[in-house]
Chain A
Amino acid sequence: MNRIALASATLLAAFPVLADGPQAAPPATATAAKTVHGKPQAPVSVTARLGAGAATVTVRFHSAATDASVEVHGVDGLAVTSDATPLSGARFGRGEAVTFDVAFTAGAGRSHLAVGVSGSFGGTRRSTVASFAVGKPTPDQLKPAGTAATDSKGQPVKVMPADTR
């Protein structure tokens, strides 16, 4: 795996390329790459362009995938009116992306469009879910859960009702 050429002798390296896809990942920069140590999940990124009652969703596969499927559904009152399974049993190369449209009826106030992606990546079945907020929350939705209190240090506390005996 030597990819180094010392001094001026250029040596073309032999990389263990896993799977080339026709579409490359979007360029990033070191300064834009925010370090976050997230949980393991399917190596995909999901983006959506939201419109009135519709979204254009793009799923980009950062690793090659087989038996990939996409499920879309609504949360907090949002109802998907188009195919809830836009993709099933598909195969993608690393860097490939798929774009599809989703039609929905938004819920009252703020609701969410959820996009679940699952597939086999490098021999392992993995999944991930992305969600996209639609609309603005109602006053009821903004109402905090529980009862407000403070602890002995003056820090705010949110008290949920307990079962007792």
Chain B
Amino acid sequence: MTYDFVPAVFDPATGTGTLAFAQASQRPVRGATVQVMKGATVLATTSTDESGRYGLTFTESGTGQLAAVVLARTTAPAILVQDNTDGAIWAIGANLDATATTMDLRATHGWAGSSYDPARRSAGPFAILDSMTTAARAFLAVRPVAFPPLVVNWSPENVPQTGDKTLGQIGTSHFSPADGQIYILGKAGVDTDEFDSHVIVHEWGHYFEKNLSRSDSPGGPHGSGDVLDPRLSFGEGYGNAIAAMVLPESTYADTNWAGPGGSLTAFGFDAETPPVPTDDPLPGVFSETTVLRLLYDIFDGGSAEAFDPVGVGLGVVYDVLVGPQKATGAFTTIGSFVAGLKAQPGVNAAAVDALLAHYGIGPISTEWGDGDPDLRAMYVDVTSFPASVNLQLGGGFEYNKWEQNQYFVITGSGAQVTVSATSTEDVALVVVQAGQRVAQVDQGTSGTETATVPTIAGKKYLVNLVGFGATPGNYAVAMSFTSP
């Protein structure tokens, strides 16, 4: 059992790329469910092995056509690829001669030179399945991991339009925390991602975060050069870095039909080597590009890079993600990751600091970002009550940018705490304890927002002030904290 793999290629030197159909190759479908069917009756079931081979015995009975069917579903790890427009699992099949002793099936890409033949475009679900299997097995090779079941939704009708997902309107390829599922674009002539393995694994990385680690990222639009909320810069830099680590291939490529006349094109970046001029104009903890390259350098050997004496490998990266990064009392940022990394056996903290310095980040020593003034300044400790804090947020930026966010840290006493934020602009408050949201208020577009939460003695509570001021320029917010 094989599928056509089409490389998504991008050359950082020229800034060009495409889906290289001429370089397509057949790859084995690993660990997929195989069924022999007689009409609608399943006579026997097995799975393909690492080479895509399968073997089973069956006794023909019932009525209808005898057929071999291979599902885009694996059991270890449990991943299935379904069509979100009708909920059916993708599969390929062929009629089976009862006297035959072998049956090789191949899922084809269906590209006919200038467009797809819809009837032969069957490789996509198996390409997605294979990229995610590769990601999961990379971790399984270094650590025992119990991956929870994953549902991936792909359809040739999936378009970059927000709306009804059963109509294919998925917005973009994404992981949805709401249902824990991944959605992948598939509309030919617009944007197809089934062969964009870095995109696939980037979204798989968000599934990993949600189920095995933790993400406090607010999500939303982001890009290179943006000064992001550090939870977002970590989450997105992490997603790209994980793809580079596990595929393993340092060059990210995302193809689409945005070229002249709707022609195929691509953009991408190299996790290892920045271009000249740089694609990271504002390096530091708020840059997803910084986080991408920092995490990749933490992972890789870096023998050719004098600034990179760190190479902990995927096992230690996993240990940090499922350990201190998941348990942090702070928000999940590069600060919590680095603090957790330094706590791992055998990790040279001084070497990590040297690498951090290369990326314009201070020698982070705690999950709160101590050592890096920019990150530490995100957190304001509220040590007594009542307290008031006046601050300025930056208007005209989106809600997920650094300029629109500030964190406050409260240590619970067992008593109730009331937090208020007053501004002429729209602000909201989110209260979090150990990664769990305990309160959120966003009642009006100006005035005062107030959240009251009970506390547990000794527990840390994080208050995230989020601004939505739309007018460019600073605006004032008055914070107050009271506890009886």
Closest 5 CB pairs of A and B: A122-B225, A116-B258, A73-B262, A43-B223, A30-B428
**Contact with B390, one of A5, A21, A165 (Cβ below 8 angstroms):** A5
Q: List 21 A-B contacts (CB under 8 A).
A: A24-B471, A24-B472, A26-B470, A27-B470, A29-B442, A35-B178, A36-B220, A40-B224, A62-B223, A62-B226, A123-B224, A124-B279, A125-B267, A126-B223, A127-B258, A129-B257, A158-B89, A158-B91, A159-B67, A160-B92, A163-B108
Query: Do A6 and B199 touch across chains, with their CB atoms under 8 A apart?
Result: no
Query: Do A13 and B392 touch across chains, with their CB atoms under 8 A apart?
Result: yes
**Contact with B260, one of A75, A84, A132 (Cβ below 8 angstroms):** A84
Query: Do B225 and A162 touch across chains, with their CB atoms under 8 A apart?
Result: no
Which residues 32-77 of A have a CB within 8 angstroms of B?
33-43, 45, 62-64, 71, 73-76
Tell me the bound Cα distance from A36 to B373 in angstroms: 29
* Shortest Cβ distance from A27 into B: residue: B470
- B281 CB–A CB distance under 8 Å: yes
Query: In the assembled complex, which residues on chain B have CB atoms less than 8 Å from the CB atom of A122?
Result: 223-226, 279-282, 289
CB contacts between A and B, total, < 8 Å: 337
- B311 CB–A CB distance under 8 Å: no
Tell me the bound Cα distance from A144 to B42 in angstroms: 22
* Shortest Cβ distance from B124 into A: residue: A160
Query: Do B258 and A129 touch across chains, with their CB atoms under 8 A apart?
Result: yes
Q: From residue B38, how far is it (CB to closest CB) to chain A in Å?
A: 11
Query: Do B219 and A35 touch across chains, with their CB atoms under 8 A apart?
Result: yes
Which residues 327-349 of B have a CB within 8 angstroms of A?
none
* Shortest Cβ distance from A41 into B: residue: B172
Tell me the bound Cα distance from A95 to B473 in angstroms: 12
Question: Which size class do B's interface residues fall under?
Answer: 35 or more
Query: Do A95 and B42 touch across chains, with their CB atoms under 8 A apart?
Result: no
- B352 CB–A CB distance under 8 Å: no
Query: Do A39 and B172 touch across chains, with their CB atoms under 8 A apart?
Result: yes
Query: In the assembled complex, which residues on chain B have CB atoms less than 8 Å from the CB atom of A76?
Result: 189
Interface residues, chain A, with chain B CB atoms under 8 Å away: 1-13, 15-18, 20-21, 24-31, 33-43, 45, 62-64, 71, 73-76, 84-85, 94-95, 112, 114, 116-118, 121-133, 144-152, 155-165
Query: Do A156 and B169 touch across chains, with their CB atoms under 8 A apart?
Result: no
Tell me the bound Cα distance from A39 to B240 in angstroms: 9
Query: Do A3 and B391 touch across chains, with their CB atoms under 8 A apart?
Result: yes
Which residues 249-300 of B have a CB within 8 angstroms of A?
252, 254, 256-262, 265, 267, 269, 275, 277-282, 288-289
Q: From residue A130, how far is it (CB to closest CB) to chain B in Å?
A: 5
**Contact with B120, one of A8, A36, A161 (Cβ below 8 angstroms):** A161
Query: In the assembled complex, which residues on chain A have CB atoms less than 8 Å from the CB atom of B87?
Result: 156
- B389 CB–A CB distance under 8 Å: yes
Query: In the assembled complex, which residues on chain A have CB atoms less than 8 Å from the CB atom of B103?
Result: 164
* Shortest Cβ distance from B232 into A: residue: A37
Query: Do B93 and A159 touch across chains, with their CB atoms under 8 A apart?
Result: yes
**Contact with A17, one of B206, B220, B380, B394 (Cβ below 8 angstroms):** B394
Tell me the bound Cα distance from A146 to B70 in angstroms: 13
Given A29-B426, A161-B122; A130-B160 close (CB under 8 Å): yes
Tell me the bound Cα distance from A15 to B219 in angstroms: 22
Best-surrounded residue of A7, A41, A74, A94 (most CB of chain B within 10 A): A41
Tell me the bound Cα distance from A36 to B40 in angstroms: 38
Q: From residue B342, how far is it (CB to closest CB) to chain A in Å?
A: 24
- B153 CB–A CB distance under 8 Å: no
Query: In the assembled complex, which residues on chain B have CB atoms less than 8 Å from the CB atom of A147?
Result: 93
Query: In the assembled complex, which residues on chain B have CB atoms less than 8 Å from the CB atom of A84?
Result: 260-261
Query: In the assembled complex, which residues on chain B have CB atoms less than 8 Å from the CB atom of A131?
Result: 159-161, 187, 190-191
Q: What 1/0 mask marks residues of chain B from 391 to 423 whose CB sits below 8 Å from any chain A CB?
A: 111111111100100100000000000000000
Q: From residue A131, how far is it (CB to closest CB) to chain B in Å?
A: 5
Query: Do B380 and A4 touch across chains, with their CB atoms under 8 A apart?
Result: yes
Query: Do A164 and B105 touch across chains, with their CB atoms under 8 A apart?
Result: yes
Tell me the bound Cα distance from A3 to B85 in angstroms: 48
